[in-house]
Amino acid sequence: MSNTWSLSDLLANLHTDIERRLEAIRATMGHPISKGDASEGVWLELFERYLPKRYEAIKATVVDSQGTFSQQIDIVIRDKQYSPFIFNYEGQLVVPAESVYAVFEAKQSIDAEQVRYAKEKAASVRALHRTSLPIPHAGGVYSPKPLSPILAGIVTFQSEWNPALGDPLRTALTTDDETQVLQLGCVAAHGTFGIDGNGSYTFTDGRKPATAFLFDLIARLQARATVPMIDVAAYAAWLT
């Protein structure tokens, strides 16, 4: 018996675990809501286990300091290190818009309707107002940090299209509305998609999609600055 570690096997097994769990949910759970909740749980657990601890993955609604709320989002990746608060009301989580790095919809399968739905969810978050205060430091004050774009995407088990990743998906993803852009996604049984620096979508078949998607997400998060310094007083103004 060999005691040699294999990085290739480790990465492959990470994907295989996700794909098998999503497949089992689809095959064994009869109620659509139960399927949806279980699928979300698989992706949330993946992110919580493997994303750097400065991030937190939760199901939540997003609110801004002007009192506007987003639609409920299946997966919100938020700042866990610097954001000062999160509301928990009867098990329903609400997070400030300034804390959000990325949002995803988690579905059993991907089709034009689910892509449209994910776009609308993303737009409801990106439309929110985000504050950014000057940052005090030992030598003075830094200017307010520019706001980084919020990432958005969709994660599923399989595709309703044949081929699974092709022109129908590209057509569904294409939009002139920047608030609805989905930068990346995973179809665990088939592959991944992502938008490049030129604004073009690339599709990758196979290659252990869940693992490849996780790495792509981490790389995109690394390229973004830390969330801005939130204006807590703007939220406190609602204490009337």
Which residues touch 11 (CB under 8 Å, ≥6 apart)? Answer: 208, 211
Catalytic residues: 74, 105, 107
Tell me the C-alpha distance between 58 and 48, whole Å: 9
Count CA atoms within 13 Å of residue 87 on its CB side. Answer: 14
CA dihedral sign, ordered 123, 224, 105, 169: positive
CA dihedral sign, ordered 108, 157, 187, 70: positive
* Inter-residue contact 184 to 192 (CB < 8 Å): yes
pLDDT 10s digits, 124-148: 999 999 999 988 878 888 888 889 9
Q: What is the pLDDT along the chain (240 residues), one digit of tens a residue?
A: 557 888 888 888 889 989 888 988 878 876 777 777 888 999 999 999 999 999 999 999 999 999 999 999 999 999 988 888 899 988 899 999 999 999 999 999 999 999 999 999 999 999 999 999 988 878 888 888 889 999 999 999 999 999 999 999 999 999 999 999 999 999 999 999 999 988 899 999 988 999 999 999 999 999 988 888 899 999 999 987
The structure's pTM equals: 0.91
